[in-house]
Structure 1
Amino acid sequence: MLTWAFRFRLGQYVRTSLWILPVLGLAVGVLLGEIALTVDGVPAGWRYTAMTATGVLTAIVGAMVALLGFVVTIGVLVVQQATGTLSPRYMRLWYRNRLQKLVLATFAGTFSFAFTLLRRVEAETVPDLGVTVAGLAVAVSLVMLLVYLNRFTHDLRPVAIADQVRRTGLNVLATSLKRAGRAVLLQEHAHPPDSVPTQTVPCTGGGAVQGLDVAGLITTAVRCDCVLVVTHRVGDFVPPGAVLLEVHGTPRAPQESRRLAGLVALGAERTIEQDPAFALRILVDIAVRALSAAVNDPTSAVQVLNHIEAFLHAVGRSELHGRHVLGDERGAPRVVVAGRSWEEYLDLGVTEIREYGVGSLQVCRRLRAMLDGLLADVPQERRVAVRGQLALLDAAVEREFPDAVRRTLARTSDRQGIGGASSGGAW
């Protein structure tokens, strides 16, 4: 029986794979080609000579191979730009681009369809309908290529990528641990029944925690009448031999460590499925790259800050817990999972940009405008952390700008960085 962790990783592999859908397109093309060879009886105007059909199908086969190579070349360019000027971690999302996979599958399917027909063209047997359909498939392929190029040229800008990452992260945030059907979020002060675990589950191979089977953990805890504590949060890297799960409860606690470990998916790197903070990590990475001496593009960093601000506003209005205590249907604590607090999200979204961008007036002004907006929007109990970040920004500006005039400019709130109205100014 496959473990949940294996199925989780398999699902991720399928979603990020660039070859599975094109291979299916090849198979569908062969199948449709065989069907087209059995269909006869087309209008006289759609009939072809054997020489014409061979020439058309040969041209289609060559064109599809060339287009496949062209799309692969574009993919290589994306990898180069993403790793050089954006963030290598963005590639985890780019691999999921459905349009790109669909384009590759269409090209591969058209190739296999035309090749299937080509091998059956004879002097007395010409697949007239198939040749016509192959021509239509080429037209569809060209339209899809134009759509793909249009999206490629527009969506590869840092601001477009930031918008995509933000929306993906907010979707994950909205469907986090509460999506587990049997999970009941209890009060944060609920504790496991025993202070000392009766059993620990070690991590065998090591890796980053990519996801948790919350429903499976609760079901196991109910069946064994125990409480399971996940010692690492989603996104943490767990070294081999470290404690992965703690079992608190009665002697009926589960003895199969391997089965319990199969409820926690580990992988080579973080993923975004159950980790909304990873989206914020990518946004910060893009902004920091823009602020590096090699790129020196503070305007792109300011544009990314727009999306970081939108993300933090959504997080600031969300119900967050430093620790999630999940219960069964009767309300008894069953699973304890580490979460992230508002302070941790805020530190992640602000700290590195402040450290690397304090020398830019534009970044300082936009960062202050973001913090001022959060200060007015988040609940009262979370404003202390925002004020702390404002104090750190003031101290950084004080160190960076000894000149009073420039220091005053750097302390001015400006939502455009430079050129926009301050928070208290008129438009």
Structure 2
Amino acid sequence: VSSLPFLPRARRRRPLTPWRDHLRDGLWFAPLIGLASGWALATFMLALDRWIPSYLEDHDRPWLREGYEWFLDVASGAKEAIGTMSSAMLTFIGVVFSITLVALQMASQFTPRVVRVYVRSRVTKTTFAVFLMTFLYALRVQKEFGGSDSDPPALAASLAMGLVVTSLVVFVVYVHSTIRLMRVTYVIGYVTREALNVLAAQAYAPPVPALPDEPVALIPYRGSPGVLRDVDVTRLVFLARRHDVVIVLIPRVGDYLTHGMPLAEIHGTPNRRGAPAAAKVWPCLSIGVERTMHQDLTFGLRQLVDIASKALSPGINDPTTAVQALDRIHALLTLMSGIALGDRAHFDRHDVLRVIEPVAVWSDVVELSLTEIRLYGAGSPQVTRRLSAVLGDLLEITPLARCPELVRQQLLLRQAVERTYPDTAGRTFALEPDRQGIG
């Protein structure tokens, strides 16, 4: 691990609860917070506008009176401006919603798996929240101007002007962020950073000791079908320690679970409590409709391969995007070649083995990363030359025990190129290692 200086520092991740993930994948929470904030802020500012005149009548505060009179001058002609503001903010909200829909449509052209990058964008959620807050705030303040002979709400009106300026700044940031999200290079880089964070936790995993005994119990899955998205390892270790057993999970994160399939094996001799019941193991797992990057080591590679495969489809025919995805795949494979892959062992505070979690091995990672791109890109010399460079570089740095899989991939690449190019010159050109594809 010390030879991998670019690997991020491993961080302990909180369990992926359904409520937490629902908030991250939803666009409703931040706008509701914005509406509530707008109403509360308007209520506070209007109350402050009613309190300050009475306070000035009872106290001689020249500096406060001069400042409040300045705000009154600002608010004297603000009634029409605030009315225009409320209608304009509603129009802005429609524009932001339209731009968001266009961005989501653009994301689906890369691969449907990266739509979550747009949905989880903090800039998009903040923009909706600020615009809705300004809209409701302006409506509430505008009501206070209607037909009253008293002074206008000076502070509330002045703050309304400030919120409009803030909304315009947020809108500029939103447009910049959305345009950046529409660039495939940014999306590829974002997915790569997420994969590196997951990889950092796997890099420091201890080796798995042997289990000589046979399982004493088999726990089936008895829930609704779904994807295993997250394992609450801390809770599972506590459960295994409480029963003095070793829990060996059978599916790995990212697998699709169906009712009745084997979920976990129980090893060891349980104490007087017996083997843990299935109803206690199930709550330690998070099941959802799609994979996430929380603990899934190979999901980042899956997304990069999907982007490359989509770019190599006949309808799009964009081998340069496939090469850009291969650049990131090359970086991830380089890091993975130097760390221990396979099952992860989890110990309790007394260094006793309690949980074994299955993780993809080196051969699985290489197959996932290169097979589909090789099959779909065999007719593009830009892709085959980049693949040759990837395999050549990996063979230089990968431990000898892992090289046979890379040699096999080289052979498969050569065979695919030979089937595509009948002439020797074409084959030689297509197999020439080139880190830029064709420059």
Q: TM-score, normalised by structure 1?
A: 0.90
Spell out, residue by residue over 1:320-340, the C-alpha distance to the aligned partner (whole angstroms, 9 max, x if none).
Answer: 2x2223222333321111111
Q: Name 2:122's counterpart in structure 1.
A: 98
User: Structure 1 residue 7: deviation in Å?
Assistant: 6.5
Whole-Å separation in 2 of the counterparts to 1:130 and 1:225: 64
User: Structure 1 residue 254: deviation in Å?
Assistant: 4.2
Give the match's secondary structure for 1:47.
helix
- Conserved in 2, the CA contact under 8 Å of 1:190 and 1:325? no
Map of 1:28-427 to 2, 5 A cutoff?
A: 28-40=37-49, 42-47=67-72, 52-83=77-108, 85-122=109-146, 123=148, 124-176=150-202, 186-191=206-211, 194-251=213-270, 252-320=273-341, 322-419=342-439
Whole-Å separation in 2 of the counterparts to 1:11 and 1:253: 33
Q: Which moved more, 1:364-373 or 1:245-254?
A: 245-254
Whole-Å separation in 1 of the counterparts to 2:16 and 2:323: 40
Q: Name 2:64's counterpart in structure 1.
A: none
* Higher radius of gyration, 1 or 2: 2
Whole-Å separation in 2 of the counterparts to 1:96 and 1:341: 30
Give the match's secondary structure for 1:276.
coil
Whole-Å separation in 2 of the counterparts to 1:153 and 1:94: 11
Give the match's secondary structure for 2:77.
helix
Taking a change above 3 Å as real, the CA distance of residues 199 and 382 of structure 1, as seen in their structure-2 partners, is closer
Whole-Å separation in 2 of the counterparts to 1:203 and 1:6: 21
Whole-Å separation in 2 of the counterparts to 1:317 and 1:186: 14
Whole-Å separation in 2 of the counterparts to 1:217 and 1:394: 46
User: Structure 1 residue 86: deviation in Å?
Assistant: 0.5
User: Structure 1 residue 373: deviation in Å?
Assistant: 1.6
Whole-Å separation in 2 of the counterparts to 1:136 and 1:176: 48
* Letter aligned with residue 201 of structure 2: T
- Conserved in 2, the CA contact under 8 Å of 1:201 and 1:261? no
Unaligned runs of 5+ residues in structure 1 are: 179-184, 420-427
Q: Name 2:17's counterpart in structure 1.
A: 8
Unaligned runs of 5+ residues in structure 2 are: 1-13, 53-66
How many residues are paired up? 406
Q: Which moved more, 1:47-56 or 1:352-361?
A: 47-56
- Conserved in 1, the CA contact under 8 Å of 2:388 and 2:431? yes
* Letter aligned with residue 91 of structure 2: A
Spell out, residue by residue over 1:46-97, the C-alpha distance to the aligned partner (whole angstroms, 9 max, x if none).
Answer: 32598833322222211221111111111211221222x2110111232211
* Letter aligned with residue 206 of structure 1: P
Taking a change above 3 Å as real, the CA distance of residues 355 and 162 of structure 1, as seen in their structure-2 partners, is same
User: Structure 1 residue 273: deviation in Å?
Assistant: 0.6
* Letter aligned with residue 123 of structure 2: L
Give the match's secondary structure for 1:90.
helix
Whole-Å separation in 2 of the counterparts to 1:140 and 1:384: 59
Whole-Å separation in 1 of the counterparts to 2:203 and 2:326: 27
Spell out, residue by residue over 1:158-217, the C-alpha distance to the aligned partner (whole angstroms, 9 max, x if none).
Answer: 111101110111112213596xxxxxx5533421x6313324242321211000011111
Give the match's secondary structure for 1:175.
helix
Whole-Å separation in 2 of the counterparts to 1:374 and 1:6: 34
Give the match's secondary structure for 1:162.
helix
Give the match's secondary structure for 2:298.
helix
Whole-Å separation in 2 of the counterparts to 1:165 and 1:7: 18
Taking a change above 3 Å as real, the CA distance of residues 363 and 336 of structure 1, as seen in their structure-2 partners, is same
Whole-Å separation in 1 of the counterparts to 2:217 and 2:325: 47
* Letter aligned with residue 269 of structure 2: T
Indicate the percent of aligned positions where both proteins have the same amino acid: 35
Whole-Å separation in 1 of the counterparts to 2:118 and 2:75: 44
